[in-house]
């Protein structure tokens, strides 16, 4: 693993600390009037999502983790695993639902995602900002109900439930924000 100086820390860099993988969320170089300079950081655990704060002396060496980002296509679900195909080598890779987290709610067959790997371990998934999904089931809108901003629950083709406006019906294609899980618009 390559070593970097604490002075070279930037947002998005992944570090190997105490056997765990941590991504730099925020950093601040501090040079007080007395004493040596230091770097204050907020780090997110790549496996659990927990955020910790650490302080490093200036020019302290840290171990940087190599993260490989691969463009993958989601093919199908096999039991508890989701099967992806690497678009450059055409290798099929089974991924556990625990590794995907909330991203599994927005995966549609033949959809694409960027999987982040450290060696053979999947540590994260990047989805497009929004995806188009079909509504599998929702209650019909009531005639005359024109309350501004009223919402109703709708089950998507992936099984995820989102709140949609009253005028949206079953079988319609909608856009959903993958970061928040909210309805954006009809597609």
User: Final residue of a domain: which of 126, 150, 172?
Assistant: 126
CATH code for position 47: 2.30.30.30
C-alpha distances (whole Å) from 50 to each of 21, 37, 46, 53, 114 are 11, 27, 8, 10, 22
Does an H or E element contain 4, and which?
strand 3-5
Over 152-184, what HEC string results?
A: EEEEECCCCEEEEECCCCCCCEEEEECCCCCEE
- Same-domain pairing of 24 and 38: yes
pLDDT beneath 70: ranges in the chain: 1, 141-148
Q: Are residues 56 and 77 in the same domain?
A: no
What pLDDT score does 175 carry? 92
Instruction: Work out whether the CA dihedral 147, 148, 150, 155 comes out positive or negative.
Output: positive
pTM of the model: 0.71
Say if residue 177 is in the same domain as residue 138.
yes
The set of long-range contacts for 89-96, using a CB threshold of 8 Å and a minimum separation of 24, is 95/122
Domain membership of residue 78 as a residue range: 68-126
* Domain shared by 75 and 108, yes or no: yes
Domain termination site, one of 26, 44, 64: 64
State the total domains in the chain. 3
Task: Determine the pLDDT at residue 146.
Answer: 64
- 11 and 56 in a common domain: yes
Same structural domain, 119 and 135: no
Q: Which residues contact residue 80 at a Cβ distance below 8 angstroms, ignoring those fewer than 6 apart? A: 96, 97
Give the closest residue to 80 by CA, choosing from 108, 48, 104, 103.
104
What CATH number did the domain enclosing 98 receive?
2.40.50.140
For residues 122 and 139, membership in a common domain is answered with no
pLDDT in tens, 16-67: 988 888 889 999 998 988 888 999 999 988 877 789 999 999 888 999 988 8
- Within this chain, do residues 76 and 97 fall inside the same structural domain, yes or no? yes
């Amino acid at each position: 693993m390559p070593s970097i100086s604490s002075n070279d820390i930037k947002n998005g860099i992944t570090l190997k600390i105490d056997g765990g993988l941590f991504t730099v969320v925020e950093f601040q170089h501090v040079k007080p009037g007395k004493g040596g300079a230091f770097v204050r950081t907020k780090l997110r655990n790549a496996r659990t999502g927990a955020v910790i704060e650490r302080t490093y002396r200036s020019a302290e060496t840290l171990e940087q983790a190599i993260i490989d980002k691969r463009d993958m296509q989601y093919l199908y679900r096999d039991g508890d695993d989701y099967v992806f195909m690497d678009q450059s080598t055409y290798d099929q890779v089974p991924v556990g639902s625990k590794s995907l987290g909330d991203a599994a709610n927005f995966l549609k067959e033949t959809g694409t995602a960027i999987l982040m790997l450290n060696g053979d371990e999947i540590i994260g998934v990047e989805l497009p900002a929004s995806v188009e999904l079909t509504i599998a089931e929702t209650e019909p809108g009531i005639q005359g109900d024109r309350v501004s901003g009223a919402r109703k629950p709708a089950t998507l083709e992936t099984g995820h439930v989102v709140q949609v406006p009253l005028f949206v019906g079953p079988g319609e294609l909608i856009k959903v924000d993958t970061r928040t899980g909210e309805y954006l618009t009809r597609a």
